[in-house]
Amino acid sequence: MAQVGVMIEAQEGLNWTRWRRIVTDAERLGFASLRTSDHLQSVMGVDRESLSAWPALALAAEWTERIQLGPMVSPMTFYVPGVLGRIARAVDELSGGRLILGLGAGWNESEHKAFGIPLPGWRERFDKLEEGIVRLRETFTGREIPLLIGGGGERRTREITAREAAEWNFPTPDLETFREKSAALDARCRELGREPSTIRRSIMRGYLIGRDEVELRRRVTQLAEVIPRLRGLDSEQALDALRERWFVGTPEHVVDQMRPYAQAGVDLFMLQHFLLDDAAALELLAEAVTPALATVSMVS
């Protein structure tokens, strides 16, 4: 049974008023998970509002009772591992054990430069990630914290995922690539003596939904104010551009696009919600997409 979660890019205009409303809506509408990015500035090169991930997650833990929460993902370059472990443990305790801790090696060069944070080469970053996981787990002595590892890397990422992760997230894959990477992860798990089904498979992807064509075109016009690459395109051009990597259309069309991924083994769809003031889009997802996906079974 595939589930749906809400992914918020906190660096792209999120503020406290919007966050409280989104958290409340995500809990009320029954989404499986609510996650936020952990960035220090817009990754689109725009000067806009941004929230810090961990204070936002702490408040979300206080404001909710059911929904899973977590960062997707916290770069190890930003943190001393033991300190991050203490922060994460506090949020996990506040939420009553609903935290999933997403971790990454770090990647955004301009962000690191702007804030004076060293960004080593790939090998050193992955070394720090692996060492950091060990230190993090030590701060959770006597308790287990589920870890999320994201990415499609075929060596270090896959190895760390197979050994450490409760969930693997793959951003915006095409269907065949997801199948190949997921099968390779299965194989590595078996080599390590781990049951592959103990790792939840999720994908992160943008979505744009409308009850009809008119509503869809209205939303894509609003989206062009958020995403610079859509500016200057008419609504049809913008929709065509999004269809290359997003789930786009009426609820029926969106479900049709998501269903093959669920049949291929996606357990959780983390849908990027860029229109932060558009509660109606979340309502439509919960009303028409989530129930339809809940009936889809994996094709063996």
* pLDDT tens-place string over residues 198-233: 999 999 999 999 999 999 999 999 999 999 999 999
Does residue 277 sit within a domain?
Answer: yes
Structure tokens at 168: 């693997």
What is the structure's pLDDT at 1? 85
- Where residue 30 falls (left for φ over 0; alpha for ψ -120 to 50; beta otherwise) is left
Does residue 137 sit within a domain?
Answer: yes
Backbone angles phi, psi at 36, to 5 degrees: -135, 145
Helix 16-28 / helix 53-63 crossing angle, nearest 10 deg: 40
Establish how many alpha carbons lie within 13 A of residue 175's alpha carbon, considering only the half-sphere containing its beta carbon. Answer: 10
Helix 156-164 / helix 122-139 crossing angle, nearest 10 deg: 10
Q: CA-to-CA distance for 53 and 71, rounded, in angstroms?
A: 7
Does residue 214 sit within a domain?
Answer: yes
Does residue 49 sit within a domain?
Answer: yes
What is the structure's pLDDT at 300? 57
* pLDDT tens-place string over residues 42-63: 999 999 999 999 999 999 999 9
Angle at 43 between CA 41 and CA 45, to 5 degrees: 90
Domain span at residue 107 reads 3-293
Q: Does residue 158 carry a pLDDT above 60?
A: yes
Q: Does residue 71 carry a pLDDT above 80?
A: yes
Angle at 240 between CA 236 and CA 243, to 5 degrees: 135
Does residue 77 sit within a domain?
Answer: yes
Residue 187 near residue 158 (C-beta atoms within 8 A): no
Q: How many domains does the structure of the chain reveal?
A: 1
Here the CATH number for the domain that contains residue 29 is 3.20.20.30
Q: Does residue 194 carry a pLDDT above 60?
A: yes
Greatest Cα pair distance in the chain: 56
Does residue 300 sit within a domain?
Answer: no
Q: CA-to-CA distance for 8 and 105, rounded, in angstroms?
A: 20
Q: CA-to-CA distance for 13 and 26, rounded, in angstroms?
A: 18
* pLDDT tens-place string over residues 2-38: 999 999 999 999 999 999 999 999 999 999 999 999 9
Residue 152 banded pLDDT, cuts 50, 70, 90: confident
pTM of the model: 0.96
Does residue 128 sit within a domain?
Answer: yes
> Three-state SS for 128?
helix
Does residue 208 sit within a domain?
Answer: yes
Nearest to 103 by CA among 81, 78, 79, 72: 72
What is the structure's pLDDT at 149? 97
Nearest to 48 by CA among 15, 78, 7, 20: 15
What is the structure's pLDDT at 165? 98
